[in-house]
Amino acid sequence: MGGVGGGAGGGSRVVVIVAFDQVQLLDVAGPMEVLTTANRYGARYDVQVVSPDGRDVVTSSGLRVGVTTSVDRLPAEPHTLVVPGRRDWRRATADTALTGLVTTLAARTRRVTSVCAGAFVLAHTGVLDGRRATTHWELAPQLTAAYPEVRVAPDLVFVRDGHLVTSAGVTAGIDLSLALVEEDHGAGVAREVARQLVVFMARPGGQSQFSVRMTPRAQHPLVRRVMDEITADPSLPRGLDALAAGAGVSVRHLARLFRKETGMTPGRYVDAVRVEAAQALLSSGTDPVEEVARQAGFGSSESMRRVFQHALGVSPTVYRARFRSTAPAA
């Protein structure tokens, strides 16, 4: 991609994507496609791909990705750093050459971002200590357990905390990159890029639209039992006091165990299960919203609307219109 330019200001914004063996291809390609497409609408991104040893890498899909420059040819202060991930995040964080490179680049880059499991690499360097961050919904409990200093927000597609921006899994790197384009060049340019790539400017909902039942199973038998009781019938009263009494433990002990095992509070898990039950009813049935709210355990359509808006960013009525069919809503 041409020569390496400077940072922000009158010249190009240099964006450095760190590639490494078994990196997820879309974690690299998604941001690159968004940023280079933005150049067609007046942006000036100079996207560079580097690797720890300066060599090309083989992605998780087997496709080889070439580096575009060496680390020593980067400007003193690149504008944006993108750290992608790989499925086996432990192998990535154990790669001292990779973590060393990310530590060095993060310290001198104006804006630091990650896609999917790339958050683990950033967390390993200490950059995310005390910060809000997200990752793939399936990995969020592992990020919480491995790096308790990080304030994990598991339901969000991307999270901004100061100059740090982390995103959820795989295609969420596109959402993150559109947000970066909007920050740098305004909503108009970001909207043109989204239109060109045929993606949502802002997708309708967070990671909560994916099944809470696919949350990694808790290891502690008591927590597993409580989770099974909640999912068996979301419509039953599920206050923390009742859950703890049914499990034969104190409220404080259940809350501590639940958060340790699942990365969320019991109440949040109840809401997630109820949202999922309501999603199924809304997308497959014709019952009125008030009846769906009753069957899913919310009690009223207003309560369901508040939880839906918080968890998914859309109302139950809008959800039904958007997700009942794969065809575009009228």
What is the rounded distance in angstroms from the CA atom of residue 119 to the CA atom of residue 140? 10
Question: How are the residues of the chain apportioned to helix, strand and coil, as percentages rounded to the nearest 5?
Answer: 50, 10, 40
Contact 5, 149 (CB under 8 A): no
Residue 44, token pair as written in the block: 């000036």
Q: What is the DSSP string of 235-266?
A: TS---HHHHHHHHTS-HHHHHHHHHHHHSS-H
What is the rounded distance in angstroms from the CA atom of residue 245 to the CA atom of residue 268? 18
Contact 124, 147 (CB under 8 A): yes
Contact 289, 304 (CB under 8 A): yes
Count of CB atoms situated within 10 Å of the CB of 264: 21
Catalytic residue among 15, 47, 92, 116: 116
- Greatest distance between any 2 Cα atoms in the chain: 66
* 2, 79, 112, 116, 262 from 180: Cα distances, Å: 22, 11, 11, 16, 31
In the annotation, is 94 catalytic? no
Q: Which residues contact 51 (CB under 8 A, 6 or more apart)?
A: 18, 19, 20, 57, 67
* 4, 86, 187, 255, 275 from 38: Cα distances, Å: 18, 26, 12, 46, 36
For residue 13, give the 3-state DSSP assignment: strand
Contact 96, 67 (CB under 8 A): no
Ordered alpha helix ranges (H), 79-162: 89-93, 96-108, 118-125, 140-146
Which residues participate in catalysis according to the annotation?
Answer: 116
